Amino acid sequence: MWGNSSRISRITQFAPLLAVALILSWVESVLPFQIPVPGVKLGFANIVSLFVLYAYPFPQALGFGVLRALLSGLFLGRLSGVIFSLCGTVLSLCGMALLKKCSCFSSLGVSAAGAVLHGIGQLCAASFLLTPAVWSVLPLTGISSALCGVVVWIPLRILGRYNLPGIGQNMNKD
């Protein structure tokens, strides 16, 4: 019985976070602003993923990220891009978790590195599925992604000032 209670508790915590992440993905998809580097976007939904990484254990954060990538592709009609998103998400979350654990990066550094790793994960998928020539955009992808990682971090830093559970204690150690 207690096992089910814990499971239900996790589901009720993650459902609104997942809904917010999907709404942010949709908002980003309808904005006219696009980054002129192939495969790079601001990644508003990563605000929620970064929060989950700091507020919950890694396995839950990884599950959240994978589910978000799958549902986002399904709801936004971008099923062909799901593999790219999944590769980026898994590499990004694994890398951010390692950087967070070793405590050698601030939350800003973790966010920027995660964005760069997401881009590298997508390039890995594109290299395998399309052509190895995609690696020619790595410098532009890296710089653009790092800047997007900073943009994603800013709202969490602002929210952290309000001592929200998971954010205030963990993210404001910068």
Q: Which two tokens stand for residue 73?
A: 């592709």
The lowest-confidence range among 27-31, 35-39, 148-152, 153-157 is 35-39
Question: Distance (Å, rounded) from C-alpha 102 to C-alpha 141?
Answer: 25
Q: Which two tokens stand for residue 26?
A: 């949709």
Question: Distance (Å, rounded) from C-alpha 144 to C-alpha 139?
Answer: 9
The lowest-confidence range among 26-30, 77-81, 99-103, 122-126 is 77-81
Query: At the top level of CATH, which class does the domain 2-27+41-171 belong to?
Result: mainly alpha
Domain borders along the chain are 2-27+41-171
Other beta carbons within 10 Å of 28: 17
Sign of CA dihedral 161, 167, 172, 174: negative
For range 79-88, the mean pLDDT: 88
Percent of the chain with pLDDT over 70: 90
